[in-house]
Amino acid sequence: MSDFFERQNKIHGVSLNTTQQLAVETTEGPLLLLACPGSGKTTTLIMRIGYLIEEKRIPSNRIKAITFSRAAANEMKLRYETLFPKSGPVSFSTIHSLAFTITSEFFRQEGISFSLIEGEISPRIPTKTQLLREIYKNMLKEDCTDDQVQEISQFISLMKNNMTAIEEMDETKLPNKEALNIFMNYEAKKMQNPSSLLLDFDDLLVYALKALIGNKAILERFSLNLTTC
């Protein structure tokens, strides 16, 4: 659809190379586009969204654009509105925001409440850092440094994002010999009240995936409402 690219170039001065244009025009099935920082990934993504709406006639409310930070989501939203002011609103959010929405619906159906221990939280709720420091001190009888907290926190995120079972963990890759025990105590601490859980950001991703896999009603609801881009 050269007219689409020519129109955007003429009106907004946006020019994509051959590979970027191919990424925009490939709309059937999944697509993975790998590129280095500053290579035009965001522009390509925005153009792909516009292409889906203007050329493929996909309703704008069927598209979900996901990124990793609020700043990036806001920037994408602004750039989309600049390039395609008449194409209808598109939902831009972080991946954790989407996971929070799915997880909230899942736990609502299960009759379970939860509180986040990262981000903007209530003073009455312990933070992830506080929990890790408390567990570390109880186990090792000494204070945990900021570097140690960060190291353990990164290890926990790696375990969850890779969906690594404890029994599958390679002990040679532990940041320290106590990391696995700290991780297990941390998980137990968050789940000690089965009706009111404590969740970190990584838990949102894990539970959202479980909900989409194991709850047909939730899967259908989000599949019907959104087409992820």
The model's pLDDT over 38-57, given as tens digits with 9 standing for 90+, comes to 999 999 999 999 999 999 99
Q: Which two tokens stand for residue 116?
A: 């986040």
What is the C-alpha separation between 19 and 5, in angstroms, rounded? 13
Write the CB contacts of 147 (distance below 8 Å, at least 6 apart in sequence): none
For residues 180 and 156, is the Cβ–Cβ distance under 8 A?
A: no
> pTM for this structure?
0.84
The topology under which CATH files domain 2-97+215-228 is Rossmann fold (3.40.50)
The model's pLDDT over 165-189, given as tens digits with 9 standing for 90+, comes to 877 777 777 777 888 899 999 999 9
Largest CA distance in the chain: 69
- Supply the pLDDT for residue 134: 96
Q: CA 84, 88, 89, 91 torsion: positive or negative?
A: negative
Q: Which two tokens stand for residue 55?
A: 């050329």
- For residue 92, how far is the Cα from the chain centroid? 12
Compute and round to an integer the Cα radius of gyration of the chain.
22
Q: Where are the CATH 3.40.50.300 domain residues in the chain?
A: 2-97+215-228
Write the CB contacts of 133 (distance below 8 Å, at least 6 apart in sequence): 143, 144, 149
